[in-house]
A = this chain, B = another copy of it.
Amino acid sequence: MMNIRFEQAATLKPKPDIDTVKFGSTYSDYMFVMDYNVDKGWYDPRIVPFQNISLNPASIVLNYALEIFEGLKAYRTEDGRIQMFRVDENGKRMQNSAARMALPDLPYETFVEAVEALARVEKDWVPSKPNTSLYFRPVMMATNADLSLHGCTDCMFYIFCSPVGSYYPGGLKCNSILVEDEDVRAVRGGTGFAKCGGNYACAQRAANRANAKNYNDVLWLDGVERRYVEEVGGMNIMFKVGSTVMTPALLGSVLPGITRKSIVELLKEDGYTVEEKKIDINDVAKLLEEGKVDEVWGCGTAAVISPVGKLCIHGKDYVINNNEVGPLSRRLYDMLTGIQWGRVSDTHGWVFPID
Contacts and interface: CB of A to CB of B under 8 A. Distances in A.
B187 A190 contact: yes
A61 B54 CA distance: 13
A68 to B, nearest CB: 9
A63 B189 contact: no
A78 B225 CA distance: 54
A101 interface: yes
Interface residues of A, number: 67
A69 B63 contact: yes
Interface of A: 22-25, 27, 31, 50-58, 61-67, 69, 71, 99-102, 135, 137, 139, 141, 145-149, 151-152, 158, 160, 162, 182-191, 196-202, 204-205, 207-208, 223-224, 226, 234
Contact of A53 (B31, B54, B201, B226): B54
A246 to B, nearest CB: 24
* Number of identical protomers: 2
A189 B63 CA distance: 22
A85 to B, nearest CB: 18
Contact of A184 (B50, B135, B190): B190
B141 A137 contact: no
A233 to B, nearest CB: 9
Given A191-B202, A201-B101, A52 B52 contact: no
B198 A196 contact: yes
B207 A202 contact: no
A273 B190 CA distance: 34
A71 B54 CA distance: 23
Given A25-B145, A200-B149, A67 B62 contact: yes
Contact of A141 (B62, B99, B152, B200): B62
